[in-house]
Amino acid sequence: MNCCARRNGHVWFPGRSHEVKGLRRFLADEIKEGDGLCFIRGPEARHIARVLRMGRGDHVVVMDGKGRRFLTLIDSANPREVVARIERSIPEPSPSPVEIILCQSMLKSAAMDYVVQKASELGVNRIFPFSSRRSVSRPESERLENRLRHWREIARSSAKQSDRTVPAEITPVSNFGELLAGWKGIDACKIIFWEGEGSRDFKGIMRGSQNVKKFVGLVGPEGGFEKQEVDMAGDAGFISASLGSRILRAETASLAVAAIVQYEWGDLAFL
């Protein structure tokens, strides 16, 4: 007896959990677990019905954005709403051993979008945008609200791409002083990255640190931090460090930091 079927271009073997990795993932607007139904609306529904041409009988993974995931079978699909029936829950992947918080000074629009997208894919837990003295981008409050919504949507999309159960949290934009006040006294490995630091490098700090459970990285804007800002961060418990002799763009530095931390202390080393 043939026990497999072809769905979404993959051979489907019931009960084979590895096949879930090949399925499309979507965030649900509503999950009625008691009724065994998931409802997907808005852009996600349009993408399923119009772009992917998926419909009744296709398997998809549905996430609620809070950690739960389900293997589902689409019951009906149109550009306004997709209804999928829950077949079973999918165990959550093990969390990274380290919580990564990225504090990123405001960058130009495209660069900031890129940081949010790729940092989310790399498993950064929270992103704190802030304004500093050399920040080039200083949008008005109304535009900041729109950008925050935009970043959060990017984080949601990145969660699907990287199979994260919970999207990265993006906080409202704060100023530098407010940001430092929030981290003062918090027990974590806290580093401000500054190209002017000549005595401490990131590699040395990491080699001298063990069992780090929470990492907070502070990365400046296109023009970097001023010395006074580095001193202020020191008063809040941040250690200044360099990333070496290369001069990196701000967005490159942020992603290099996230990848290095995830490799050394997180789960990237096990991929």
Contact 227, 196 (CB under 8 A): yes
Percent of the chain with pLDDT over 70: 91
pLDDT in tens, 226-235: 999 999 999 9
Q: Report residue 230 as tokens.
A: 């580095």
Percent of the chain with pLDDT over 90: 59
Contact 45, 78 (CB under 8 A): yes
Q: Say what the pLDDT of residue 270 is.
A: 54
For the segment 233-249, the average pLDDT, to the nearest whole number, is 92
Task: Count the neighbouring beta carbons within 10 Å of the beta carbon of residue 35.
Answer: 9
For the segment 20-45, the average pLDDT, to the nearest whole number, is 87
Phi, psi for residue 247 in degrees, rounded to 5: -95, 110
Whether the pLDDT of residue 85 is over 90: the answer is: yes
Q: Say what the pLDDT of residue 129 is.
A: 96
The CA-atom distances, in angstroms, between 144 and each of 113, 114, 181 are 13, 17, 21
Domains belonging to the chain, first-starting first, are 5-90 (2.40.240.20), 99-270 (3.40.1280.10)
Q: Which DSSP symbol is given to 51?
A: I
Whether the pLDDT of residue 251 is over 90: the answer is: yes
Q: Report residue 223 as tokens.
A: 């023009």
Nearest partner of 245 among 192, 184, 195, 186, judged by Cα? 195
Contact 61, 71 (CB under 8 A): yes
pTM over 0.75: yes
**Poorest-pLDDT segment among 184-188, 203-207, 212-216:** 203-207
Whether the pLDDT of residue 267 is over 90: the answer is: no
For the segment 121-141, the average pLDDT, to the nearest whole number, is 87
Given phi > 0 = left and psi -120 to 50 = alpha, else beta, which region is 105? beta
Whether the pLDDT of residue 7 is over 60: the answer is: no
